[in-house]
Structure 1
Amino acid sequence: MTQFANAAEPAGIQRARALAPMVVSEIEQHWADMPRRSYLGALIEQESCPSLSHRMCWSTTAQLKTSREEGGGLTQFTRAWTAAGAQRFDALAEVKAMAPKALEELNWETLYQRADLNVRAAIVKLRNCDANLTRLTPGLDDLTRVAMCGSAYNGGWAHLQQDRKLCGMTPGCNPNKWFGHVEMHSVKSREKWQGYGQSAYDVNRGHVRNTVPLQSRRAKYVEMLGV
């Protein structure tokens, strides 16, 4: 795999090329059997890149912050609070519990400093989802597991399982297939968020479409990370 930067490439892709050897190393150390490795590059682009030339693209300093929510780093782990200031959830704490030793140094400071911990946390979260799917439904093909775990990465494991259940209750829908089946049925709202232009359903399904098919953002990372 060549890692030579092209001056004509957007800055985000140049940063991706620079980080690619580290990403491959993290995969080898923490999930050597990861299916569709190029998906991880597409996921980072989806999470951190408003555009390929944006300063946040493929940067640990990427941040989306409001008075009640903070998403940070290459892989945009999120924490949120209620209107009263109580914490609703902390995705960083959740992923650390999945692999305490490997993610011992990960916190809300190092998230913005260390790309390796960003990538490792995403690998751990995806690996955990893949293992859960394999245990619940043995025999799912690689691409289906990647798609389902991509949906869960964006919208939560519980919602993925609810969507699969809804699909299974719908005539002609196979809960063991994503494309054309589970992707078409969801408990997520289809009402557009005010000022955003998309619904929770649109965002979640768009997340998968943008990252999982080979003819998506994923294509550009095959050379860097492997198929």
Structure 2
Amino acid sequence: MDRLRRALIEGLAACEVFLLLALTLLLLWLAGPAAAQLPGDAPRYLPQLQHELAAAWPDVAPRAWVPALIEQESLWRVNATLRTAREHGCGFGQFTRAYDAGGRIRFDALAEMRALDPGLAGWSWADCARPEYQLRAVVVKLRMHDRQCQPLMHENRQVKACAAAMYNGGAGSVAKRVRSCSLVAGCDPGTWFGHLDHQCPQSRERAAGYAESFCEINSKYPARVEARMPKYMETMR
């Protein structure tokens, strides 16, 4: 009898462990994006990003590349701000206003984006971090750079790397890399990784207010975006 009672108790304990494990797995599945530990305000605003992609760039691939780039820019913090002596950046996409040595504005990203998309007509520096403008502008700007890179690069991964580098350092910077690469034996101007990322038109001196030189930042930027993509693969399918 004692042996039977002990067997029953052990059986019930095993069932409890099984049920607890099953419940844990169910809760993790239901948690979805939260289980992936998405950064900052990503869980709240990824649906808005999905909406902007559906409206302006439905065939982008891989879709996880776009939120990964936003993470690289701002860690998905709505009010992320960059301030140095030479520029002011704000919001998810860190759109910037740059200044010359005399403090005069030499570049205004918001003005550039308003000219590209009528839907951004109301965007101003007074509300530069406004999420719906930021997300729309990121999609529009990346789509533009993707189209600029398509004739230059061999395949989609290299196109996305090229577009990310343009987003970070400007189209002119990538064009200089392509020209420089074309003059170097063994360098393929249609490939970013291992080729264009080794060409560097920007300053190699550490920039004031930054941990690296602009050369290093721009060269490493596409790979850093790629490294952030896996956590968005499921969410952005």
Cα RMSD, aligned residues only: 2.3
CA contact (8 A) 2:99 2:105 kept: yes
**What is the match of residue 224 of structure 1?**
235
**What is the match of residue 138 of structure 2?**
122
**What is the match of residue 86 of structure 1?**
104
Structure 1: runs of 5+ lacking an equivalent: 50-57
Between Structure 1 and Structure 2, the one with more helix by share is: 2
CA contact (8 A) 2:78 2:91 kept: yes
Residue by residue over 1:83-123, the C-alpha shift from the partner in whole angstroms, topping out at 9 and shown as x without a partner, is 32211111121122222x1222222233222x121111011
Higher relative contact order (CA 8 A, sep 6+): 1
Distance 1:38 1:19, change over 3 A: same
C-alpha displacement of 1:221: 1.0
Counterpart pick for 2:121 among 104, 107, 111:
104
Return the alpha-carbon distance in structure 2 between the equivalents of residues 19 and 31 of structure 1. 17
Distance 1:37 1:6, change over 3 A: closer
Instruction: Give the fraction of aligned pairs with identical amino acids, expressed as a percent.
Output: 34
Structure 2: runs of 5+ lacking an equivalent: 1-28
> Does 1:140 find its partner at 2:168?
no
With structure 2 as the length reference, what TM-score do the two structures score?
0.80
Distance 1:145 1:10, change over 3 A: closer
**What is the match of residue 21 of structure 2?**
none
**What is the match of residue 42 of structure 1?**
68
Counterpart pick for 1:160 among 160, 164, 174:
174
Distance 1:8 1:211, change over 3 A: closer
Residues 11-26 of structure 1 mapped to structure 2, 5 A cutoff: 12=40, 15-26=41-52
Distance 1:64 1:2, change over 3 A: farther
Return the alpha-carbon distance in structure 1 between the equivalents of residues 33 and 120 of structure 2. 30
With structure 1 as the length reference, what TM-score do the two structures score?
0.83
Return the alpha-carbon distance in structure 1 between the equivalents of residues 207 and 83 of structure 2. 17
Greater Rg by CA: 2
CA contact (8 A) 1:73 1:112 kept: yes
